[in-house]
Amino acid sequence: MVFCSNATGKLIFFCPLCGVAWSNRPIGMQLNQICSLQQVAPTGISLPGERDLVDLTRSGTVHNVDYSTWQEFLDPLLTGT
């Protein structure tokens, strides 16, 4: 999933199921770096704006998902609780 780092405003990539985060888009199934969300976005995350996702959407890198499907995992991360 794609979020914005509150510290930098840059896009970050995060898997809420395994807790692994990346400051750069993972390419294919290759993982050269494994970080925690705290390491990549130490002051928290926010949802990206539509403009942030235009290039990723065009390239097929990201796809829309229904927030309610992931709400249980995402609400604590987005609210800092």
Model pLDDT for residues 45-67, shown as the tens digit of each residue: 998 888 888 877 776 667 788 88
Tokens at residue 4, please?
């914005």
Instruction: Measure the N-to-C terminal CA separation of the chain; round to a whole number of Å.
Output: 19
Q: What residues contact 43, with CB distance under 8 A and at least 6 apart?
A: 5, 6, 7
Residue 40 has what pLDDT?
Answer: 92
The letter for the amino acid at 71 is Q
Tokens matching residue 18: 């395994």
pLDDT mean over 29-38:
80
- Give residue limits of the domains in the chain: 2-79
Q: What is the pTM of this model?
A: 0.78
Hey, is 73 helix, strand or coil?
Answer: helix
